Amino acid sequence: MANFIEREESQNEKYAYSRKNAWRKTAPDGSEYGLEPRHYASEKEYLEALNERKYAWRKHVPEDLPEGLHPEDYELQRDFYEELRSRQKEKWAREREKLNAEYKKMREGIMLDKTVYDLCGVVFPESAHPYSYRTDGSVEIGDIVEVPVGDEGKHELAEVVSVEKCTRAGTVFPIEKLKTVIRIVRRGGWQISPCFITVVCKKRERICARTGYTSPSI
């Protein structure tokens, strides 16, 4: 008998919203998510399916959320992302304000720095484009100098084509980022093949590295 009643209440259209299925009358509307209470045998199963569909978006939110922002506190995906965008805009505004303040402070420091720096422009044998380097003030136009190149510690020879004294505010590049001339290799230009000087300097460096002997400049 009990099995008969159970079967009737589950299958008979007359009991779709009564007796044990009375919960379907007051169940939350799930049509927006393609859910129908009549397709579920119990209120628990229906609510679990509804919550799964309704809050599925919470599983896909970004990981690096602002502090205090939790998807569980929002019913609708739209409301959550509106709050997220609002907080991100506030964060970006603070970061811009901080950067502007740092830049202003840096510019003020540059303008107040009256130190005079010695700079020179050099060109390499294979290029006519000048590169700026800091010096100790002893180099002259036409000198062949050894300078650091790149971030791998390489040294190359170049010819000095300009010398100048300027303050920090007068430089195109930040003083801190300019490399410094290592040494003067020869006064008065190449005079002999730059390739020959380069080979001699490299051989001398290898000999000095093996013996610890420091030879004079070419």
What would the pLDDT profile of 111-151 be if each residue is shown by its tens digit? 888 889 999 999 998 888 999 999 998 999 999 999 999 88
**Domain encompassing residue 202:** 117-211
Residue 29 and residue 96 in one domain: no
Residue 124 and residue 45 in one domain: no
pLDDT at 36 over 90: no
Residues 6+ apart with CB under 8 A from 185: 143, 144, 145, 146, 157, 197, 201, 217, 218
Entry field: residues in the chain = 218
Residue 122 lies in a domain: yes
Q: What is the mean pLDDT of residues 100-105?
A: 90
For the entire predicted model, the pTM comes to: 0.45
Residue 63 lies in a domain: no
Question: How many structural domains is the chain composed of?
Answer: 3
**CATH code for the domain in which residue 200 is found:** 3.40.1440
Q: Which residue has the higher pLDDT, 84 or 48?
A: 84
Residues 6+ apart with CB under 8 A from 133: 119, 120, 121, 122, 145, 147, 178, 179, 180, 181
Hunting for tokens 């919960």 — which residue is that?
Answer: 23
Residue 62 lies in a domain: no
Residue 82 and residue 155 in one domain: no
Phi and psi at residue 164, to the nearest 5°: -160, 160
**DSSP secondary structure code for residue 217 in this structure:** P
Residues 6+ apart with CB under 8 A from 152: none
pLDDT of residue 194: 52
C-alpha span between 25 and 129 (Å, rounded): 83
Residue 198 and residue 128 in one domain: yes
C-alpha span between 89 and 83 (Å, rounded): 10
Residue 123 and residue 205 in one domain: yes
Residue 59 lies in a domain: no
Residue 60 lies in a domain: no
Residue 217 lies in a domain: no
Residue 131 and residue 180 in one domain: yes
Q: What is the mean pLDDT of residues 138-165?
A: 92
pLDDT at 191 over 80: no
Residue 216 lies in a domain: no
Residue 172 and residue 191 in one domain: yes
Q: Please state which of the ranges 37-41, 94-98, 156-160 shows the lowest mean pLDDT.
A: 37-41
pLDDT of residue 121: 95
Q: Which of 101, 108, 66, 110 is nearest to 87 (CA)?
A: 66
Residue 61 lies in a domain: no
